[in-house]
Structure formats: C-alpha cells, structure tokens
Structure 1
C-alpha cells in the first residue's frame, strides 16, 4: 500500500530560498525580454525551488513531485546584485496533488506572488514513462 500523501505533507509546510541576481538571471539573458532585470522565468524557477524545498524533508523514499500548474504575477523589477527570497507554503493536499502559495520578495517589496501545484509521483516510473521505456 502506498503511503498517504496527506500524512506525509501536512498543510503549513514552508520553505524559503534565496537568489542574488546576476547577469545570467536577467530577462536579456533568458530571452524573455530585453531589459537587464530579473527575468520572469528565473522568478518562476525560484518559486518552484521553494516548493521542492518545502517537501524535501518529508519526501517518501522513491518519490518526487513534479510541477503541473503555475499562476504567477510578476509585479516588480529587481536589478542585478539584489537578493530576492521565495517562500512557499503548502496550503492544500488532495490525494497526490499539492497546492502551494508562493511569494517572492526583495527586502520588504513583493516582487511576485501566486500559486504552484505539484503532484507526487514515483520517480523511477515517471522517468521511465517520460523516456518511453515504460
């Protein structure tokens, strides 16, 4: 019998990750714009990293989560050299589905906020299916 995700991941789990913005994190470098500020794809990657970190300690052996849905409002520009922090909070568990609220800040300013949904999967089976060997 598979471990119940609800027990492994109680609502309220949180994690925080930081990034000091470099030239390679900018919209120019990522191809998402032509300005030298933190690019939206990097903001999203940071938010997702926080969701992964929130579940890491309680992750059942052989399992992982994969992102399935994102809603993100990128509200403010962040220049190279600034440090941003992403915080993810698990706000809902429905079977294997995990819903997080995420906030990215630069000091006291909210840079981005939204939701990220992830699904708990068997790592080996997922990779086998993705590579066509299952």
Structure 2
C-alpha cells in the first residue's frame, strides 16, 4: 500500500453547516470535512483489501480550524502512520488554496464484511 493518498472535493450547498443543521452559516460543515477525510482514508485502504473485507472508522481526533465557502476545492492528504494487526492509523490534513483548514488522526479497522453485517 502507498504511504499517502490525496483527493479533492468541491464544497456544495448540501455540505454546509446550514444545510447539515450543525450550525447556521453557509460554510463547510465539520461533519462534511470529516466525511472528506474518512472517504480518502477508506479509499486508500480499500484498494489493498480482498472482496470479503472492508474497513470501518473507529476513531477520529479532529481540529477544524478555518471556514470554507461553497464552491471552494478542499484538498485532502492522508498519510499512513502505522498498522497493527487489523488497525490502521492515519494522519490527515485538509487544505484550501494552500491553507490548512483541518487536521486529524484517524483509525480504521479492517473487518470481514459478511461477519460484520451478521452482527447487527
């Protein structure tokens, strides 16, 4: 697996705090920034798994430090810090026009899809 992965997202009206209900302003919501970060880590890890596996997020320690307007591009970079058994730890940063708007440490667990779905 590559040690890093990157993805870009364009902030839509539906991604705002106002639309999400997590705030009253038309700026990128924290839940959507988390989704951008988690999606990038998931895609990075997913490409290494077989058809019976997937990964699920189990922990996120996050700072959302600057607002982002609708229409702006958010660049997300994920770096694998470590893997222990089936747990992968990532450092993630989100930038807009070169300015960091958020950072996180995120953990994902690799699971057997069928067994996981039978447990719910």
Same fold (TM over 0.5): yes
**Which entry has the higher C-alpha Rg, 1 or 2?**
1
Shift of 1:96: 0.7
How do residues 18-57 of structure 1 correspond to structure 2 at under 5 angstroms?
18-57=8-47
Q: Cα RMSD between the aligned structures?
A: 1.1
1:108 correspondence with 2:109: no
- For residues 5-40 of structure 1, the C-alpha deviation after alignment (integer angstroms, 9 at most, x for no partner) is xxxx5xx52221211111100000011100110000
Give distance in 2, aligned partners of 1:70 and 1:89: 14
Residue correspondences, number: 120
Moved over 3 A (4+): none
1:122 correspondence with 2:112: yes
- For structure 1, the 5+ residue unaligned runs are 1-8
